[in-house]
Structure 1
Amino acid sequence: MRLTVFSTVLAVLSLLAPSLIRAEEVMIKPDVVYGHKFGLATTFDVFTPAQNANGAAVLFMVSGGWYSSWSPPEQIQPRFKPLTDQGFTVFAVRHGSSPRFSIAEAVADVRRSVRFIRLNAEAYQVDPDRIGVFGMSAGGHLSLMLGTASDEGNADSKDPVDQVSDRVQAVVAYVAPTDLRIMAMDAPDRLAAYERFPALEIDANTAEPDSPIVHVTPDDAPTLLLAGAKDELVPISHSRKILVAFEKANVETKLIEFENAGHGFGGEDAKQATDAMVDWFVTHLTEKP
């Protein structure tokens, strides 16, 4: 009985509380539910410039090791400031996490997030034809999957979300795995470090459908790759090989290599990477005059 009363009070308070939180020059809408599975909700936070929004959306894949953590949106808002300052509306997308959920399920989640945002583009005041995505490491992998292996939706689905395309118009992938087959348990040269990641307890056959490099085709989104030459977790060969695949398919692409960086950037490298990321989205998502 006490639990029922407490739940009722929480429900009433949630209806009374404002759905938008103002953080300086950005309006934050937290914990938007874009899907459900096994009784759990998948969510994203929305960061909308209070002024001079340019109508384009940029999705950030909240993922490391295919684990998607939650943080108070006010705490992570500063990392999106370079984008919101340029007028982009940012969506911080969370997916079902390893080890409970597989990489394939994480890919399915982020696909749905794009479909949901496109379906509800008017509510978020964004253009459904100007959606970009970026992420780091596993988040970069998920970004590349959206750039290379998306579709136009299933017109016969009973779910209106699934009827919508999950294609994106621009991708930025930081230190991203591009071929999961060489990270699988049966890969002959598998790095010992991958033993720490339950998501990679897969064989090469299972890994293939979720390897961006096998999906590269001429209709892929323009893609910027950012990689550290000294990365010992995701060697730079991942980015170099998919760069070659993109170039062969005539996909607009660029690789920026950071000579002294490992699996992540600091100092001037971080600034240069952020500037390049923002410029890529400005170039590919901003409406031309």
Structure 2
Amino acid sequence: MLRSVSALAVGLLVLTAARGADQPPAPPVPPKSVPAPLEVTTERNVVYDTIEKEKLYLDVAMPKEGGAYPCVVLLHGGAWTGGSRKDLSVGDKGKDGKVGPSLIEAVAARGYVVASVGYRLAPKHPFPAQIQDARAAVRFLRANAKTYHIAPDKFAAGGFSAGGHLALLLGLADKVDGWDAGGNADQSSRVQCVVDFFGPTDLALYNTEAIQDSYLVPVFGKSAKTDKEVFKKASPITYASKTAPPVLMFHGTFDLVVPVGHSEVLHKKLQDAGATSELVTVFGEGHGWNGRTFTKTFNTALTFLDTHLKGKDQK
């Protein structure tokens, strides 16, 4: 998967740049320090549904060793208008010319089935197409749990930026009119925990016309500017409740694209409701990070997944 100029203008420039850079911004590279105890196999270009005559694909990595593993569904960033599942399922090429493990392979090596999900993009496909596809992907994987060696009652959603927003909606919003499309209607799209990297949680916080026109109208439509219910329905914070699954959020304190306040307000609302919520703020980081910071947050995320999907309290 970014003073003669005002702060608003700076924010707009970063938001506009994020359309290309946020795939996710500074695509996460699996750190070499994380051990890979299990051999992994990856199946690419899996058609998980066909909606409006458009085939939808995911890539899935899983341990070669047989068993039933928890499943992690990952959603790429890109401002809902760009990015690709390959941002998380294709590794980077090293100095030696060899391609290293992708993010889904690095997580799968720790005992998970991990899917990087492609979803329809705006403005060709306005919201709620993106969450419809994310929910359809979960239903597909649950319906094919035996094929992919998945424990059907142990699902997590994770995502970066716009993908984090979708992951939060997967976890917090259950039955919402118009959000279910595609096949496997007999399957649940519920997930048991969520890991969000700097995703928007309350779209009403983008309260200037310039930002709305540039960033949100292409996704949510012109009516969003006059109808507050549009942003409310599409905002994860709307669905925060006591019954929410455990949520872990990461956010940089210098994020100009999705300010850290997005995670702070959702974290507080979840805690006030009595749900389990953890927030890790990373001082000085912006929208997306690699290197040492990602290594630390990657391992924190894995510990969270182990705790809530495998029952392991690792310290």
Give the TM-score normalised by the residue count of structure 2: 0.75
Matching residue of 1:82 = 106
Matching residue of 2:275 = 251
C-alpha separation in 2, matches of 1:240 and 1:69: 28
Query: Identical aligned pairs, as a percentage?
Result: 27
Letter in 1 for 2:84: S
The structure 1 residue matched to 2:190, chosen from 155, 163, 167, is 167
Using a 3 Å threshold, how does the CA distance of structure 1 residues 230 and 223 change in structure 2: closer, same or farther?
Answer: same
Letter in 1 for 2:201: T
Matching residue of 2:30 = none
C-alpha separation in 2, matches of 1:217 and 1:191: 32
Deviations 1:78-128 (A, max 9, x none): 223431221111011111011111231101110111111112111111111
Letter in 2 for 1:182: L
Matching residue of 2:11 = none
The structure 1 residue matched to 2:142, chosen from 114, 118, 122, is 118
Matching residue of 1:276 = 300
C-alpha separation in 2, matches of 1:62 and 1:152: 22
Q: How does 1:122-137 map to 2 (within 5 A)?
A: 122-137=146-161
C-alpha separation in 2, matches of 1:100 and 1:159: 18
Using a 3 Å threshold, how does the CA distance of structure 1 residues 200 and 68 change in structure 2: closer, same or farther?
Answer: same
The structure 2 residue matched to 1:48, chosen from 58, 62, 80, is 62
Would you say the 8 A contact 1:54–1:87 is kept in 2? no
Would you say the 8 A contact 1:111–1:150 is kept in 2? no
C-alpha separation in 2, matches of 1:143 and 1:177: 11
The structure 2 residue matched to 1:25, chosen from 39, 44, 47, is 39
Where does structure 1 lack aligned partners over 5 or more consecutive residues?
Answer: 1-23
* Runs of 4+ that moved beyond 4 A: 157-160
Compute the displacement of 1:43 (Å). 1.3
Using a 3 Å threshold, how does the CA distance of structure 1 residues 64 and 115 change in structure 2: closer, same or farther?
Answer: same
Matching residue of 1:206 = 230
Deviations 1:52-89 (A, max 9, x none): 76611111112321134253945475223431221111
- 1:69 and 2:87 correspond: no
Matching residue of 1:232 = 256
Compute the displacement of 1:150 (Å). 2.2
Letter in 2 for 1:266: N
Give the match's secondary structure for 1:214. Answer: helix
Deviations 1:164-205 (A, max 9, x none): 21110110000010012333xxx3x46749715632554133
C-alpha separation in 2, matches of 1:103 and 1:201: 8
Q: Rg bigger for which structure?
A: 1
Q: How does 1:183-222 map to 2 (within 5 A)?
A: 183=206, 187=207, 189=208, 192=211, 195-196=214-215, 198-199=218-219, 201-202=221-222, 203=224, 204-222=228-246
Would you say the 8 A contact 1:30–1:46 is kept in 2? yes
Give the match's secondary structure for 1:83. Answer: helix
Using a 3 Å threshold, how does the CA distance of structure 1 residues 231 and 284 change in structure 2: closer, same or farther?
Answer: same
Using a 3 Å threshold, how does the CA distance of structure 1 residues 190 and 106 change in structure 2: closer, same or farther?
Answer: same
The structure 2 residue matched to 1:141, chosen from 165, 168, 181, is 165
Using a 3 Å threshold, how does the CA distance of structure 1 residues 220 and 196 change in structure 2: closer, same or farther?
Answer: closer
Give the match's secondary structure for 2:72. Answer: strand
Give the TM-score normalised by the residue count of structure 1: 0.81
Give the match's secondary structure for 1:171. Answer: strand
Letter in 2 for 1:69: S
RMSD: 2.7
Using a 3 Å threshold, how does the CA distance of structure 1 residues 263 and 201 change in structure 2: closer, same or farther?
Answer: farther
